[in-house]
Amino acid sequence: MKPRERHVLLLWMLVCSGATEAVDPFTIGAGVAGTAAAGIFSPMIYCRFKECCRPNWVSFKSTGLKKDLDNKLFGQHVASRIILKAVDGFMSNDNPKKPLVLSLHGSTGTGKNFASQLIAENIYEKGIKSNFFHVLSATHHFPHPKQHLQTYKHQLKQLLRDSVTDCERSMFIFDEVDKMDPQLIDSIKSYLDYYDNLDGVSYRKAIFIFLSNAGGDSIAQTALDFWKAGQKREEIGHNDLGTSLSLSLFNNKDSGFFHSSLIDKSLVDFFVPLLPLEYKHVVQCAMAEMKARGRQPDQDVAERLAKDLVYFPKSERVFSSTGCKTVDTKLNFYL
């Protein structure tokens, strides 16, 4: 700790302990001294040791996100490119016109949650443990929408308001959107729109990310069509998936976005498709999991695990049915 910081910390400790009462009241009132010191130094001291919505705690690392997407999000060249450009452009803008809204779609285990976590890890010093990072699960937080829809709407709006009031760079992850009532999603439309503020609170610097399995079948079919045509996976572009994905979600009663005003009013900035994972990607996931556990990655172990998973189509065994979702639990069996 620098000398100046030590002096500031000592003064703050004296203020908090009431030691300012020893100050000559004819020179400066003890209460005034304490209040003035607290007003000047409390944010400085507090935010050095406790998370605050300040640059030392909230600061986007573009090169870090690119590196993580390239090296950790396996087999997702389309999603990685969209996410990096979208987040980089948004976070570098000090005066965005609206919040960033992403909707990530793909089958189980393709990396939707993981991609969201990588974004958080490169925005918040505390990563996914940040108080400004919020995950809302449809089945956990909104399990009975038919009976409690109005209550859920109120609670959700209150959470958004309180969170963004605490930090304008808050991030909200809505998991299992395909299991959410479309009316609940539509209830937050105004928070995602082009408003300077709502009741005195600006949401323009917040990030909203929706995660859903909906659309996964059509994404997988596109990937399979490319494979059957002998085209490389890397040749698949966003144009091959994006427009048809948003349209299918809008017309799918089970998507969570059925006739949603979020789509109708173009409030979702990017629909991000995540491709089904192949055998080689499962191997990469297993190797990464071993490394994360502090073990020496073993190619043989990774390949044995990957071979035992279920793939589709059944005869060709091209894509993993569960992606990398079960790799961490199954790995124990192979070590």
Q: 3-state SS string over 74-134?
A: CCCHHHHHHHHHHHHHHHCCCCCCCCEEEEEECCCCCCHHHHHHHHHHCCECCHHHCCCEE
In terms of Cα–Cα distance, which of 284, 126, 266, 85 is closest to 192? 266
pLDDT at 26 over 50: no
- The fold of the 62-273 domain, in CATH, is Rossmann fold (3.40.50)
Q: Please give the model's pTM, rounded to 2 decimal places.
A: 0.84
pLDDT at 6 over 90: no
- 75 labeled binding residue: no
Banded pLDDT at 29 (limits 50, 70, 90)? very low
Mean pLDDT computed over every residue of the chain:
86
- 108 labeled binding residue: yes
- 111 labeled binding residue: yes
pLDDT at 132 over 60: yes
- 106 labeled binding residue: yes
For residues 230 and 321, the answer to whether their CB atoms sit within 8 Å is no
Going by the DSSP 8-state scheme, the letter that residue 189 receives in this structure is H
For residues 210 and 104, the answer to whether their CB atoms sit within 8 Å is yes
For residues 226 and 319, the answer to whether their CB atoms sit within 8 Å is no
Cβ-based neighbour number of residue 40 at 10 Å: 14
pLDDT, tens digit, for every residue of 219-275? 998 999 999 999 999 999 988 876 667 666 655 655 556 445 566 667 889 989 999
**Tokens (6 digits) for 179:** 């299991």
In terms of Cα–Cα distance, which of 208, 209, 210, 202 is closest to 94? 202
pLDDT, tens digit, for every residue of 10-22? 555 554 554 444 4
Banded pLDDT at 157 (limits 50, 70, 90)? very high
Q: Residue 248's pLDDT is what? A: 63
Banded pLDDT at 1 (limits 50, 70, 90)? low
Beta strands in the chain (DSSP E): 100-105, 133-137, 171-175, 207-212, 270-273, 311-312, 319-320
Cβ-based neighbour number of residue 168 at 10 Å: 17
- 242 labeled binding residue: no
Report the distance separating Cα 300 and Cα 163, nearest Å.
46
Q: Residue 285's pLDDT is what? A: 97
Pairing type for strands 133-137 and 171-175 reads: parallel
Range name among 11-15, 26-30, 306-310 with the lowest pLDDT average: 26-30
Give residue limits of the domains in the chain: 3-49, 62-273, 279-334
pLDDT at 8 over 60: no
pLDDT at 59 over 80: yes
User: CB neighbours of 53 closer than 8 A, spacing ≥ 6?
Assistant: 132, 166, 167, 168, 169
pLDDT, tens digit, for every residue of 165-220? 999 999 999 999 888 888 898 899 999 999 999 999 999 999 999 998 888 888 99
pLDDT, tens digit, for every residue of 281-303? 999 999 999 999 999 999 999 99
- 107 labeled binding residue: yes
